[in-house]
Structure 1
Amino acid sequence: MTLRFIGAALLIFAAVSLPAVAKTTRHPVSTPIAIAVSINGAPLNVEPPPRFVGGRLLVPVRRILDALGLPFDRRGKTITTQAGDRTITLTADSELRGVLYAPLRFFSAGLGASAEYDSRSKTVEIISSLLGHSSVVSVAGGGREYMGVVQAVDNDSRPPAITVTSGASVKTLRISPGAHVLVNDAAANTTVPGSLESVHVGDYAKISVRKDGSVDRVIDSFASSHGRIAAINGNTILLNDGQVIVPTGVTALSLNGEGARTTDLQVGDAVDVRYNLETSEIREIIASRKAPTGMVAAGSVEIESIEPSLSRPLRQGDSFSITMHATPGGQARFDVGAYFTGLAMTESSPGVYTGRYTIPRGANFASAPIFGHLNVHGTEAPRAQSLNEISASSLPPGVNDIAPEQGQTVNNPQPSIYATFTAGAVPVSPSSVVLIVNGHDVTASTTRTARFVEYHPLSAYGDGPVRVTVRVGDQAGNATSKSWTFTIRTH
């Protein structure tokens, strides 16, 4: 996968006329040096590879721990792993596109490994005695945890199954009734209950199996982004937020629910991009485009129109109806973009077909049109597309950076207090943001946007703890909160 930000985009699209893009702060672009990795003398395929950023060599953490057979439990930038009877807690300080990186001393100081960089061969060499299974970890209670990239999801069999791969290891697991599914979007920093329909090929999955062999829990992890196409140059796509997207051979690309190529896309198309959390490979690009107005196919079997009853952003449990006007006496069905397809409709009166849909757990999509299908006595009508689109999210916004940080001590009695937000498919609603400091609602004195809230106290606080709570919701009504405490000490 190739993923760079606006600095690189300006070079790539120098010959393309682009709309103005607001200046944003991005991670520094790494020096383009191909760096290999070997573990105990054996080459390890690491994608994305180690990279130099700001003169520092950074190595992706999870891929190395997986190769050593060590569990990976992440909380922010703190990582906990288990080696025999030892619990090891480490901190990695760099994150690029949802992938956590650390300098070589992370592995030498934290794991007691020999970690060196050979500049002649451009190879990171790690030698460690902490070796285990490459994709299976024993857990408390006699159970096991399987980890790897999702290769297949079979929702049609009973019970359904998930196949994960890690290196040469391939494991298919039957998902027990009652197994818990959690969906983790690392880009939005959110984890919510989901369903197997939320698990996509290319995601990274951790599947916990009880001692009796039944599956207890599935944690599905990925990173996603949403935007509109600002420019296209060959196989390279520039989004309106400055991201440069280059599909690869493993990327599934669709436009309005049908298979597509990059050349089929246009400026202004809405896109959902889904990345593998560990490799940052682009695994899925789902594009949608509004239907042109006044376009009705002529013929003996036709669909005049199809529209949803709602066009506002929706959340889990929200329902909407769909009405389609078409040739009477047929069998009708509808799709919600490329996400949910083949949904039944009934003919409520001659030529009027209706259906209803409820947003399920784990749904997270933007600007999805409704597609209508009709078959009358074996004759298929041309597919119809709604003018209005549906956006939905069951993921609340994430609260990412905060300042002052949890546990921090500052010597300024009037510190600037802020928090930044990351939304899923549905944007943050600035009017939903509430900031409470030491039990007082100071929201009226803040600056609120869809990306951050900032507060500059008008009077000084006394020395001691300062307790902060921020609440934020998106336009669909999903809400979350975060609380933290810092300390003021002026003398």
Structure 2
Amino acid sequence: MKKVFLAASLAMMSGATWAQGISVTVNGNPVAFPKQGPIQAPDGSILVPLREVFESLGASVQFLPKTRTITATRGTTTVALQLGESVGYVNGKPKSLPTPAQNIGGTTMLPLRIISEAFGADVKWDANARLVAILLVGAKPVTSTGVGGGKVPPPPAQEKPIVIPVKGLTPEEIKNAGGGTAPPTQPLQLNTPAVITKTEPVAGTLTAMAPDKLTVQPATGLPESLPLSPDVIVLVKVGDAPQVRQELAALKTGDAVQIKRDSLGRAFLIEVSYDERVGVLKSLEALGDHWIALFTEGSAAEVETLADIKRLGNPSSLSEVKPGERVRLRINPVSKRAVALSVIEGEKPATPRVEVLKVVHNASPKWVKGGDTITFTVTGTPAAKGTLRVPGLAGAEALPLVETSPGSYIANITVPAGVALKDATALATLALDSLSSPTVASAETFVIDAVGPTIGTLTPTESSELTDARPNFTGTYADQGSGIDPRKMQLSINGEDVTGRAIFTDTYFTYQPPTDLPQGPVVAKLTARDAAGNETSREWRFTVIPTALLSSVVALPADRPLNFGDVLTIKAVGAPGSKATFTLGAKVKDQPLKEDSPGVYVGSYTVQKQDVLVAAPLSVTVTDSRGRTATQKASNAITVTAGPPEIPIIDQPQDGASVGGSVVLSGRSLPNATIKVTVRYTGKRASILTASGLVGEVTAKSDATGRWSTQPIVLRVPKELTSLLFTAEVTATGTGGKDSSTATVKFKK
């Protein structure tokens, strides 16, 4: 491909404020600017006149009006710019510009930065003197070419041309702009006002066509004449069919068109859309500025008086069209009038084609559950055989399509249980003789949820024996499809529906009987349902045994948290001759109790240094000689504070808060813990030096609930400090002597 020298396009200056009064020197010699001088853009960039500065550096300049690019050559370095673009090219390599090159007051201006990046010049900016000083070894000014009339010679023929991309131009346009290995000489007319070319899209009605241009009447305003690009693309859309590329001859006056223009204002993409109607003509009569066509079937249609009329492919007229003839109308979708009418009787039949036009279904827009029947309707070529499939749905790999009326087919499937599909799609294909249609998918997807919820852990546990006649019923469940519907859950105890008294959420349920359950076997049943209507049920059994097997459990002391070294005493009363164990939270499991006297079981636990328990339950389990088991909890929960507490929580002051001359810190920690608070400060001395120090240390004690608070801490710091910031560090120590991690909060005075 031929290579061309490109020059930058002229651009219009915006209305922003630009600073002037700037001088330029090259190697100490001032540069004269007969017209527009250097300016400073609002963003701080310095723009200088291209011709005067480049020629002062000994560079020759060339301008190509067609592509609106400029090249400047000095020795082996060539700079190429396109006006209005924020990228320049130095020996073909792109360089970003802080401000695009542009035409201001008839003078081409470019960013000062490109000079240093292009020719290696040392560029200095003196803001006070408003002076740009350029130093470049060997810079010898070339003779000025003048403004508007001088001829700028092309680069030497033996030099390799520099090619840059020009936005909006095709390779052919670039070639025509001055292609070849030796670009034609063009005058450098930098003070010619910029020509504004319309490049915005245009939409309207096509009113005239010529080999090299089109005329379009927009919805408002005057007609526009658009020259055609040599590589113009025409896309035609008929009705709901996809766009198809066609030749320019496919256009007809009266068509609704949308046209996009290139940077030269030429039409390079023409999109035309029209509707088609085929039928047997009943009558055709003139009415004002149009004709009315009546058909043997369907509504009437309006036809433009100047419509393109064809009979079997040959030119004709509206007066020659006769009733009873089969015609095809080309209808403008905007005006709703036909712009072309063709009599198609006797035409050569079109090439046979089998197609699927549409695939729809009656599936619910939300969820399809097991047992539901989905009906699929396919519209396409009549008298064909077809199949429909739903990927991932068992039994729907190849459903036969049954033609219920010409071109209309149906297929049914009943959704089996155990299937879950999201974004399911129906795919249909028709075949006639040796021809097959492409596979067409349903426009709307659907979701199948034929899998019921899963039920997790249930309490009381299966086959357990309880002395508590009012046990707490709990259970978990989940659904991976449409999700649990808590409103449709159901719970029954011994056949009694207690759903209304239970609490159901998306993931669990709870139920506390209001009265004692009868002693003996108990049958519970949970039914979980999802939003699609699928359900899963589980039944489980347990036994309520006489309370005599285990009548009471006591844990002492019960009035305070336990510290390191304290002894917890457990006493239970139950059936004599049984085996008894106790469990304390997650710390102590199944520790034996001694039968101190018939039916009285005792035991103890000494708190260790590492023990930390908060409201832990203590329970005793008794197993009698027949293997019956009963478990009962002590009425009080156990709290142990011997181990290292968790990091304390500081409630006041909040991080970043401002306080007065003193501060009170408060928060939460392990009960009975010792709270140590250390307050430090940092600040600035003389606004420069950083100073820091200790304000003080205090201790406090958390109460039985874990709440703690300090006495007021006076914030004494050197008076000369500014920008003060205080940091409080809080540590909790358990009764076993173990420290927690440190919590911190920062605040201001």
Q: Under a length normalisation based on structure 1, what TM-score does the superposition of the two structures give?
A: 0.35
By relative contact order (CA 8 Å, sep 6+), the higher-ranking structure is: 1
Q: Under a length normalisation based on structure 2, what TM-score does the superposition of the two structures give?
A: 0.24
